[in-house]
Structure 1
Amino acid sequence: MISLRFFFFTLLAFLALVQIVGQAIISPIDPFAPRQEQRRYRLDQLFNPHLISYKLNHINSNPVYDVMAFGNSSILALSQENLNRYGRFFNVAVPGSSFGSSVSLALALAERDRLAPVVVIMVENFNHFTQQVPMLPASLRWRDSAAQVFSLLVDENVPLREKLRFTARMVKLEGELFVRFFNPGVLQAHLAVIMADWLPLAAPGPRPGLLWDGYNPDGSGGGMTARTFGKIAIAPRHDQPQVLPGVLVHDVKRLAVLAARHRIIIYESPVEPASHAEYAAHPIPRVTQLREMFFAACTRHGLECHAAPLIGQPEEPNLWMDHYHPPAPVLGSWIDSLLKQPPRRTRHAVQ
């Protein structure tokens, strides 16, 4: 009969093995390299820690890029084609990411001298700001979490309540990630990328019903397809009890240390023109206050920040497929206009 001690030892060993496979084992093959379509085709099935790891693999195995973009899915369509005149471009964005996560990634790359001279960082539109806890790969997340908790504790401008809430979120995230790495779908997607040469499960190509058709070699998302067609409804605005303004301002302060060696351009993500017009006509005090705090922090730390632009006109045909993901051509054109300007401090007009 198997002893209880042996059973628990075996169980712990199994749990450790799953966590190692799930969090630490990343294929050394670069999915964004040439002739890696099978791997890129599978990347949109991964969740953030794995996808970020593969993007970091690519960045670390190539010469330093000239321009990098950080953010969530609303900047994912930005590609080399949109910014050709500025040299080599790589899109580091991952769906569901946060401003704090982008800051942590940029700092990690700068520490390794892998950060581009020009950095474009998206912050969520403040009408829909969510402020998720950074979901980085384990090798970065644990170190970054410890550094963030310490820096928050010593920052007198962050209220104690926010410090405690953010720390609690990090602890909760670790528990959720630990459980999620046992999810068969997560493990299957992870191993499918690692073993793509041995498991050619599908041929690259369009996949109806998905928002993104895989990834491109420059890290950007493939062609975007609409889930629904027709006139886009104005996006509702919900309560934002999870937002910690002091932590957001602290993230701006963390990012400011890079400004001496890199041009940092921060922009608030635009929304579909009809929603933009509605929000401008009926501002919400808490949103206005959050935006004001953010841009005041940008000014205080000498960063170049831009409020959400109006991309398109309300009630006129446009290329938007939903309220939150700007079309690559018009987003690229606007960011191109920012890059052409000489570096400047905050441009803030409440939108």
Structure 2
Amino acid sequence: MVGGKEVFQFTLKNKHDMTVKIINFGGIVTSLLVPDKTGKLDDVVLGFDNLADYLAEHPYFGALIGRYANRIAKGRFVLNGKEYQLALNDGKNHLHGGNIGFNKVVWDAVEFCNAEGAGVELNYLSKDGEENYPGNLSTTVRYLLNDQNELVIKYLATTDQPTIVNLTHHGYFNLKGEGCGDILDHEIMINADRYTAVDEELIPTGELIPVHNTPLDFTTWQPIGARIKKLPGGYDHNYVLNRKGPELTLAASVREPKSGRVMTVYTTEPGMQFYTGNFLDGTLTGKRGVKYGKHSGFCLETQHFPDSPNHPAFPSTVLNPGEVYQQTTIYQFTIEQ
């Protein structure tokens, strides 16, 4: 029980034995079993073996993030002439929805099954004023596992007042298997020619900078660790995805040579935060009693750009009454021999 509500774990499994486990606390993906090139199943997401550890402080392992993923400068934004002040839970700034974001609430959950596969639908009403955001925001997130070894995440939200919305999934992946070392030898390709430049607090300056001839250039396959030492700490950058329209677009693909696992991400979102677990330092004990050190996992968080409410030139994150916020992200797993 959390806040008087029961917490359940749901298990989705397809014909290839790929298996996803999801809890309705934070919409967290607690386990993701994916076959390697020999057919061996490994759990490829970082996390914990028990609910108590998810209830304690951790870096958003596997969680749904909202109302606003990523950072908002000084926790402030102006909407229709009114200024809103949000919690400052990341130094001088607001991060991932505040002190009690969508990652820390119990969602209503129901299983479903359709022609595409089996899934879990999560629903949560974020009330007007929650974490100082305006409007009653009704949010639905559907996780679906199909027989193409795809985890499909669909997000929907409506509001009764103008508000801002930016949702994402914060899975930490290691395609060797969680707890099996760092991810620096994984190879990645990101479908983006530009990224949002940031200041020392990781707040966008408003500039969109070409990745060409920088350590952020993953327009062709590169090991994650090849140039990581040229960046303080590692990668924690929002990429401006190459898009031609609102349809699903390739965001990134990651491959791990030894296991043969390849994860490809498609999304309808304009951006993706690539994060390499820079703040993991071995103090957190994960599954099977393994301590998670620096770069134990990577995140590909499809979303709108950080601090968009304060940058009119960025794609808008404003949601008005009568409109429907919707996005889809697909994590597809394949094998490369």
Q: Which has the higher strand share?
A: 2
Instruction: Give me the TM-score of the superposition, normalised by structure 1.
Output: 0.29
Q: Which has the higher contact order (CA 8 A, sep 6+)?
A: 1
Instruction: Give me the TM-score of the superposition, normalised by structure 2.
Output: 0.30
Which has the higher Rg, Structure 1 or Structure 2? 1
